[in-house]
Amino acid sequence: MQDRVIIPLEEFPEEGVFIEGEADGALFGIDHTGAQSIGPLTYSLEAQLYETELVVRGSISAPFLLRCDRCLREFEYTVAIDGLTISCDVKGKAVADVTEELREEVLLELPGYPKCEISGLECEINDTFCDFRLDKDPHSGVNSATPSGNSVWDALDDFPRK
Ligand SMILES: [Zn+2]
């Protein structure tokens, strides 16, 4: 599999160029516990040349294995960007290598503190131990960290005062 995304510029057609394909996910350089590339960068791009500026529009996606910051469960998450626009100066170049630009776009979309929810999963920590989601009704029969009507600070009132 190719590991670069390259657009040839010689005899560039006036109507533009359409390229699509896959590039090896190794280009992301993300391969550690907590965030791991598990598939190729898939791209579908349209390129237009305006004198020395190449404008590239389209969509890209890439799958990753992330680890939930809260419950440490690993889950798959695909970064998908539609309506992507990048531009680069290609003055004097025979080809435009847009790999780095695409890589950066994907990395920017990777969550810094991944949670199960971004992949549509229920986080076990939320359901088993405590409820961080304020819009969710506490389970009946389970003591919530913040019983309704009481402030968490009310518990301090129970401490003996001097
Ligand atoms: Zn989780």
The 3-state DSSP class for residue 131 equals: coil
**Which residues are within 8 A (CB) of 42 and not within 5 positions of it... i.e. 6 or more apart?**
21, 22, 60, 61, 62
Lowest-pLDDT range, 2-6, 15-19, 41-45, 127-131?
127-131
Residue 152: pLDDT over 90:
no
Domain boundaries defined on the chain: 6-121, 126-157
Q: Supply the pTM of this predicted model.
A: 0.75
How many angstroms separate the alpha carbon of residue 62 from the centre of ligand 1? 21
The tens digit of pLDDT for each residue in 63-95 reads 999 999 999 999 999 999 999 999 999 999 999
How many angstroms separate the alpha carbon of residue 88 from the centre of ligand 1? 39
How many angstroms separate the alpha carbon of residue 114 from the centre of ligand 1? 8
How many angstroms separate the alpha carbon of residue 104 from the centre of ligand 1? 26
How many angstroms separate the alpha carbon of residue 75 from the centre of ligand 1? 9
